[in-house]
Amino acid sequence: MRIAIVGAGALGLYYGAVLQRSGNDVYFLLRSDYEAITTRGLTVHSVNGDFHLQAVKGFRSPTEIGIVDLVLVGLKTFANQFFSELITPLIGETTRILTLQNGLGNEEQLAALFGEDKILGGVAYLCSNRGKPGVVHHLSEGRILLGEYLPASGTITEDIASCFRAAGVECRVVSDLKRARWEKLVWNIPFNGLCALTLKPVDALLCFDLTRCLVRDIMEEVIAAANAQVLVKNIPLSLADKMVDSSQKMGQYKPSMLIDRLERRPLELDAIFGVPLRLAAKRNVPMPHVQQIFALLQLVEKD
C-alpha cells in the first residue's frame, strides 16, 4: 500500500516506520527532521524491539509525493487549518484519509473538505515520544481502534486494519467511532490537562491521593457527557477504574500536552477540551472540573 504520513511527530513516525518495515511504500512529509531522516534514516527504540530504517522516503512538500492509497494524519489538531494545503495533492479517486489525531471534530473537518466517504478515524492508544531528530521512542501500547466516518459495506476499512496488523500493530475495526473517541477522552482529558498544568508526569498524579481522586472525578464527568450524546451510550463508570489502574504501569510517562507545554508549543485545547465541553453543554451535562482545567490551560498558554 502506498501511504503518506502527514504529521510526522512521535505518532506519525512510529506508525509510519512499522508500516514501512512490513513492506508498505511509505512517504513521510517532514519538517524539522527532514535532514536527519533523509541522510541517516529513522530509528525506533521500542519495547517490542529496536530497529532502524536506513532508506526513508522523506519530502518537504506533498506535491513531491503525489497521489497515494492512504493518507495517515498525525498532525496536532491546532494545525487542522492546513488540511487542504497538505492533503489535497495526495488525493486520488480511491484515496482514503485516516486521522489518528486526538479529540473530537477532526473527521468532520476532513469530511467537509474531501467528502464523507473518504474519511476514517482511528483512536490510537500509543505511548511514544520523539527523541533527537530521526529518533522515536515507543514506550508502550500502540493498538488502534479503527472506524468509518460514514459507515459503508466495503472492505477497505478491514484492508487497512489488516495492513496495521501485518505491521505488528493491534488494530480492531469498531462500529461506533464516536464512542471510541469519547472513551479515549476519558483518559486524555484528565491526564493531558493535569499533567500540562502541574508539569508533572502520570505517576506523580497517581501517587498523590488528592490528585488521583481528582483524575477519577474528571473521568466521571467525561463519561457522563459521552453517555448523553445521541450516538454514544453506555460507557460504564468501571472504565474509569480500569484506566486509573492501567495508568499506574506508565511510570514517568509525559503525555503529549505536557511535552508541548515544556517545549512551548501550542496546545491541542479545542479538540480535547473545547469540543467536548460544547457538546456536553448542548445536552445540559455539567463538566465543572473540565471547564476549570480548560480555563487554566488557556491562561497558561498566554505566557
Model pTM score: 0.93
> Do residue 222 and residue 170 come from a single domain?
no
Total domains in the fold of the chain: 2
C-alpha 280/C-alpha 267 separation (Å) is 21
Size (the chain), residues? 303
Q: Assign residue 237 the CATH number of its domain.
A: 1.10.1040.10
Summarised one tens digit per residue, pLDDT across range 229-262 is 976 668 999 999 999 999 998 889 999 999 999 9
Tell me what pLDDT residue 153 has: 53
Q: Is 145 helix (H, G, I), strand (E, B) or coil?
A: strand
C-alpha 121/C-alpha 147 separation (Å) is 5
Residue owning grid cell 518537504: 60
> Do residue 26 and residue 115 come from a single domain?
yes
C-alpha 51/C-alpha 27 separation (Å) is 18
Tell me what pLDDT residue 150 has: 84
> Do residue 71 and residue 131 come from a single domain?
yes
C-alpha 254/C-alpha 275 separation (Å) is 23
> Do residue 130 and residue 16 come from a single domain?
yes
| Closest alpha carbon to 196 in 84, 104, 301, 121 | 301
> Do residue 105 and residue 217 come from a single domain?
no
H or E stretch covering 151: none
The rounded Cα 21 to chain-centroid distance in angstroms is 21
Summarised one tens digit per residue, pLDDT across range 40-65 is 999 999 999 999 999 999 999 999 99
> Do residue 162 and residue 62 come from a single domain?
yes
> Do residue 257 and residue 123 come from a single domain?
no
* pLDDT digit string (tens) for the chain, length 303 residues: 999 999 999 999 999 999 999 999 999 999 999 999 999 999 999 999 999 999 999 999 999 999 999 999 999 999 999 999 999 999 999 999 999 999 999 999 999 999 999 999 999 999 899 999 999 999 888 999 999 998 775 688 999 999 999 999 999 999 889 999 999 999 999 999 999 999 999 999 999 999 999 999 999 999 999 999 976 668 999 999 999 999 998 889 999 999 999 999 999 999 999 999 999 999 999 999 999 999 999 999 887
Q: Which of 121, 146, 175 is the last residue in one of the domains?
A: 175
Q: Which of 156, 175, 194 is the last residue in one of the domains?
A: 175
Please, are residues 175 and 147 in contact by the beta-carbon 8 Å criterion? yes
Tell me what pLDDT residue 55 has: 97
Please, are residues 46 and 21 in contact by the beta-carbon 8 Å criterion? no
Please, are residues 98 and 124 in contact by the beta-carbon 8 Å criterion? no
Q: Which of 175, 207, 222 is the last residue in one of the domains?
A: 175
> Do residue 183 and residue 256 come from a single domain?
yes
Residue 132 cell numbers, joined? 533527537
Cα distances (Å, whole numbers) of residue 47 to 138, 140, 142, 222, 238: 6, 6, 10, 31, 28
> Do residue 257 and residue 273 come from a single domain?
yes
Tell me what pLDDT residue 140 has: 86
C-alpha 58/C-alpha 44 separation (Å) is 16
**Structural domain of 53:** 2-175
Please, are residues 165 and 45 in contact by the beta-carbon 8 Å criterion? no
Q: Assign residue 60 the CATH number of its domain.
A: 3.40.50.720
C-alpha 299/C-alpha 175 separation (Å) is 38
Is the C-alpha dihedral spanning 24, 27, 33, 36 positive or negative? positive
Rounded percentage of the chain residues whose pLDDT exceeds 70: 98
Cβ-count burial of 288 within 10 angstroms (0-12 exposed, 13-18 middle, 19+ buried)? exposed
List residues bridging with 148 in a β-sheet.
120
> Do residue 169 and residue 278 come from a single domain?
no
Which residues are part of the catalytic machinery? 184
Tell me what pLDDT residue 232 has: 62
C-alpha 178/C-alpha 184 separation (Å) is 10
Please, are residues 132 and 106 in contact by the beta-carbon 8 Å criterion? no
> Do residue 144 and residue 229 come from a single domain?
no
| CA-derived radius of gyration, the chain | 19
> Do residue 123 and residue 233 come from a single domain?
no
